[in-house]
Structure 1
Amino acid sequence: MTRSELEAQIQAKKSVLCVGLDTDIEKIPAHFKQLEDPIFEFNKAIIDATHQYAVAYKPNLAFYEAEGLKGWQSLEKTLQYLNQNYPELFTIADAKRGDIGNTSARYAKAFFEELNFDSITVAPYMGSDSVKPFLGYPGKWVILLALTSNPGGGDFQLKSLSEGNQLYQEVLGQSSQWASEEELMYVVGATKAEYLKEIRKWVPNHYLLVPGVGAQGGTVSEVMEHGKASSSAGLLINSSRGIIYASQAEDFADAAASEAAKLQAEMARFL
């Protein structure tokens, strides 16, 4: 998906909502567990209920890998369902991959060619040769970890270097030279909203994927106010548990749609 295609969808829906498909088989409604593929069937129901409010979906691979071969099959079926029924939606493999060059190249093939994701999250710790194999696929994106929302994120990311920059700033500065804003995004946690103004000094036009809204305590208004790009929305704001587990009863899909609609309405005020 190109940047212009993504932005057209954002403007049409007045939304930058990304729904995180962190589908834990232990947390889905009990009646799904009797089905042949409960994870896929739950994902399908969530997608059908929320697609009118969302512009992106982000399966977190840990929840699929934990189920072995069946989990990978559920993931593949979820992607096929999205691509066939809602091809305008942006898909993110929340995989946080990153390894030596030849290994990264195989990861890129797996997620871009075999599974046909639009993008993948990548860890930058091993440097440019671990990231560049993911770049150069037409219409595909790298979403690089920059400043994460987890409590331990500051253990390294906020450390000051001898040059005076913090480590996350160095990641932004160097990596923004590796690719354009047409194929490179960054992960910035919503609980780090106070850093968004500083981040925009380093990457004024790149898209930011912002997890942490809802269950982790981040707010849409703070992210939208401080994180918009200078030339476009420049944001994808993710909510996972707050949407997909809004209810564990029979009304789970309606509850998910209601939560997605609330977030979309907040976003529309800034678009």
Structure 2
Amino acid sequence: MTTQQLIEQIKKKKSFLCVGLDVDLNKIPEFLLKEEDPIFSFNKAIIDATHHLAVAYKPNIAFFEAYGIKGWQSLKKTIDYINDKYPEVFTIADAKRGDIGNTSKMYAKAFFEDLGFDSVTIAPYMGKDSVEPFLSFADKHTILLALTSNEGAFDFQTKKIDGTELYKHVLETSKSYENAQNLMYVVGATKAEYLKEIRQIVPESFLLVPGVGAQGGSLEDVCKYGMTKDCGLLVNSSRGIIYASNKADFAEVAGQKAQELQRQMESFLENL
């Protein structure tokens, strides 16, 4: 998917909602455990209930890997279902990969070619040759971890090197990578006050923003400091949507929660 196609979906749906698919068998409705593939059954119901409100889905790969080969099969079925039935929706493999060149190339092939994702999250710590293999794929996007929403982000990301925070070095350096136009960045919603300075470095790039809702991030602040003329934001909500109910109405309630966020987003998009 191209960036322009993503922008068109945001305008059409009046939404920049990304729904995170973090599937924990201990949290999904108990009756689904009787299904042949509980993870896929859960995902399918959530997707069907929210696809008209979301412009992106973000399966967290760890939540599939944890269940071994069955988890990978569920992931494959989930991404195939989205690509076949709702191909207009942007897909994010939340994999947080990042390794030397040949290994990164294989990771990229796995997520872009075999699984068919539009994008993948990448840890930038090993530098250019660990990122550029992902950037070499046409119409695919690499989402670098820049400033995350977790407490430990302050261990390294905000430490100053030559008077400048490390995450700013990451942003600035990544702009020189080959095919850098295919880059997006993760910036946690709980770090919204940093967005103003981030936008000075990457004024037009899309930002994937987790942490709104259950983690306490403010959608208003994210939009105030991070929105561009083309929106430039994908705001993720996981637990606040997919686990809003653990009863038979779980998909319906998920749709209601997604719509609540979409309506808020629509009000911010009106100001563009």
User: TM-score category by the smaller chain?
Assistant: over 0.9
Partner of 1:252: 250
Amino acid paired to 1:82: I
Matches within 5 A, 1:113-132: 113-132=113-132
Partner of 1:133: 133
CA contact (8 A) 1:181 1:206 kept: no
Matches within 5 A, 1:145-160: 145-160=145-160
What whole-Å deviation, never above 9, does each CA across 1:74-119 have from its counterpart, x for those lacking one?
Answer: 0000000000000000000000000011000000000000000000
Amino acid paired to 1:167: L
SS at match of 1:158: coil
Amino acid paired to 1:233: C
Equivalent-residue separation in structure 1 for 2:222 and 2:167 (angstroms): 18
Amino acid paired to 1:24: D
2:243 is aligned with 1:238: no
Matches within 5 A, 1:1-271: 1-162=1-162, 164-179=163-178, 182-229=181-228, 231-271=229-269
> How many residue pairs get matched?
269
Q: Alpha-carbon deviation of 1:179?
A: 4.7
Equivalent-residue separation in structure 1 for 2:253 and 2:216 (angstroms): 19
Equivalent-residue separation in structure 1 for 2:248 and 2:38 (angstroms): 15
SS at match of 1:269: helix
Equivalent-residue separation in structure 2 for 1:219 and 1:71 (angstroms): 32
Equivalent-residue separation in structure 2 for 1:68 and 1:43 (angstroms): 17
What TM-score, normalized by structure 1, do the two folds share? 0.98
Amino acid paired to 2:265: M
Cα gap change, 1:156 to 1:43, in 2 (>3 Å): same
Amino acid paired to 1:195: Y
Q: Which residues of structure 1 form unaligned runs of 5+?
A: none
CA contact (8 A) 2:17 2:234 kept: yes
Q: Which residues of structure 2 form unaligned runs of 5+?
A: none
Amino acid paired to 1:26: N
Cα RMSD (Å): 0.9
Equivalent-residue separation in structure 2 for 1:205 and 1:78 (angstroms): 31
What whole-Å deviation, never above 9, does each CA across 1:165-208 have from its counterpart, x for those lacking one?
Answer: 10000000000121556411000000000101010001000000
What whole-Å deviation, never above 9, does each CA across 1:35-64 have from its counterpart, x for those lacking one?
Answer: 110000000000000111100000001100
Equivalent-residue separation in structure 2 for 1:118 and 1:152 (angstroms): 28
SS at match of 1:103: helix
Equivalent-residue separation in structure 2 for 1:176 and 1:262 (angstroms): 35
Equivalent-residue separation in structure 2 for 1:255 and 1:219 (angstroms): 22
CA contact (8 A) 1:97 1:123 kept: yes
Equivalent-residue separation in structure 2 for 1:207 and 1:181 (angstroms): 12
Amino acid paired to 1:208: L
Equivalent-residue separation in structure 1 for 2:110 and 2:165 (angstroms): 33
CA contact (8 A) 2:135 2:179 kept: no
Amino acid paired to 2:239: R
